[in-house]
Amino acid sequence: MKVALTYNLKKKDPLKPEDYFSECDSEETINSLINALKNKGHSVEAIDVEHPALFSYFKKNRVDMVFNIAEGRQGRFRESEVPAVLDYLNIPYTGSATFSLALALNKALTKKILKAENIPTPDFQLFVRGDEILSPELAFPLIVKPNCEGSAKGINKMNVVNNKEELFARVRECINIYRQGALVEEFIEGKELTVGILENGKTRVLPILEIDFSNCKKSGEYFYSWKMKEFQGNTELGLAPEFYCPARLDKDIEEKVKDVALRTHHAVGCLDISRTDIRLDKNNTPYVLEINPLPGLDPKESNFPIMAYAAGMKYDDLIEAILMSASERKRLN
C-alpha cells in the first residue's frame, strides 16, 4: 500500500512555553512508525503538518491511505484539520474522523455526552470568565484543567484544590495562560487506569493498564501530571510510576472498566483506535476522565503500545492492525 504518514514534529524553541510542543511526536516515534509500515511491506512518505503546501501535496500525490497521528496546527479543532483536508480530497485515513477528533478535544462537551449515555464521569463545571459562582453540588477536592488541551498540559499538583481561594486562583491562571475555559471537576482519589481499544477485525479491548504513583514521594506528584508525562521514568525527580498490565483488578471490576471504555469509544464515534483514561473511586466505580482518539504511539514510552504488547502484539503488528482496520472500512464504504 502507498501510505503517507502525517505528523507534527516535536521541536525545541526556548522562546515558546515549556509545554508548547508536548502534544507533538518525537523523531524516534516518527521513525518507528515509518519502519513498522515498511516492515509490513508498505511504501511510506512522511509529511509534517507544518508543510506549507500540505493541501497541494495531497492533491498531486495520490496515496492509498494516510496514517494520521497529526495534532494539527492551531485552535480548538486542530486535531480535525488534517482529516478535514483529506475528506475534502476524498483520501482515506486511519483513526477517527473530524467530528470525533474535535469533540474529544473539548472535555466538557464530551462529558455531557458521557453523562447522557449514563457513563460515569466526574461531576464538573466549566468556567469561562473566572468569576462564575461555584456550583454547590461540587465537593472538594477539585481539579482544574484547561478544557481543550492534551498531554496533561496545564495540569500539575497545584491544580488539585481544597478550597475556593485556591480554586479561583487556578481557574483564572488557566484561563489567562491557555486562553480557553477551565474545566473544574471532582478529584477522584483511587486507581489510575487507561484502556486501549483497537478495532482489529472486530472491536477489541486491550489488557487494562494500571499506573501506580504511590512510589513518587520525591516529587509528590500522585497523578499523571504534565511533569509526570514529560519526564516519565526519571527516578531522581520521583517521576517514575509503576505500570501494571494487565491491571491488578478483580474480574468483575475489570469487565466493568472495559465496558465503560468501549461505550465511551462508541459514544464519541471513535474509529480504529482510542485510549480512555479512567479513575476508580473508593466504591470501584470507573469514572471516565477523557478519551484520546490519537493516543501516543512511542514504542517505548507511550501507554497504548504497552497495552498492545501485553496482548501479545509486536509494535509492527499494532501499526499494521490500525492500517488494516482503516482499509477494511474503506473497502466497505
Q: By CB under 6 A, name the binding residues for ligand ATP.
A: 122, 143, 145, 149-153, 155, 185-188, 192, 223-224, 229, 277, 279, 289-290, 292
User: How many of the other CB atoms lie within 10 Å of CB of 47?
Assistant: 19
Smallest distance from Mg ion to CB 136, Å: 28
| Between 145 and 258, CB nearer to ligand ATP | 145
What distance in Å separates the CA atoms of residue 248 and residue 244, rounded to the nearest whole number?
7
Residue 277 makes contact with Mg ion by CB under 5 A: yes
* Comparison of 185 and 272: residue with beta carbon closer to ligand ATP: 185
CA distance from start to end of the chain: 18
**Least distance from ligand ATP to the Cβ atom of residue 94, Å:** 19
Q: Give min distance, CB of 155 to Mg ion, in A.
A: 9
In the complex, minimum distance from the CB of residue 61 to ligand ATP, in angstroms, rounded to a whole number: 31
Partner from ligand ATP, Mg ion, none contacting 196, C-beta within 5 to 8 A by type: none
Q: CA-based angle 124:126:130, to the nearest 5?
A: 125
Residue 151 Cβ vs ligand ATP, minimum distance, rounded to whole Å: 4
Asked if 185 is part of the footprint of Mg ion (rule: CB under 5 A), the reply reads: no
Pick one of Mg ion, ligand ATP, none as the site partner of residue 149 (Cβ within 5 to 8 A by kind): ligand ATP
Closest to ligand ATP by CB, 224 or 315: 224
122 binds, among ligand ATP, Mg ion, none (CB under 5 to 8 A by kind): ligand ATP
Residue placing its CB nearer to Mg ion in the complex, 5 or 288: 288
Main-chain phi, psi angles of 180, to 5 degrees: -160, 170
Name the burial class of residue 130, with classes exposed (0-12), middle (13-18) and buried (19+) by CB atoms within 10 angstroms of its CB: middle
> Which of these segments, 3-11, 25-33, 62-70, 270-278, binds Mg ion (CB under 5 A)?
270-278
Residue 279 partner contact from Mg ion, ligand ATP, none using kind-dependent CB cut-offs of 5 to 8 Å: ligand ATP
Nearer to Mg ion, 81 or 277 (CB): 277
Query: Where in the chain does DSSP place strands (E)?
Result: 2-7, 43-48, 65-68, 124-127, 142-146, 160-161, 182-186, 192-200, 202-205, 209-212, 242-244, 273-280, 286-292
Nearest to 208 by CA among 251, 170, 265, 164: 251
Gap between the Cα atoms of 209 and 220, Å rounded: 22
In this structure, what C-alpha cell is assigned to residue 72?
494539527
Interacting partner of 145 out of Mg ion, ligand ATP, none (Cβ under 5 to 8 A depending on kind): ligand ATP
Which residues have a Cβ under 8 Å from the Cβ of 165 and sit 6 or more positions away? Answer: none
Which amino acid would we find at residue 79? E
Q: In this structure, which amino acid lies at residue 129? A: R
Query: For residues 221 and 277, which CB has a smaller minimum distance to Mg ion in the complex?
Result: 277
- Give me the residues that bind Mg ion (CB under 5 A), please: 277
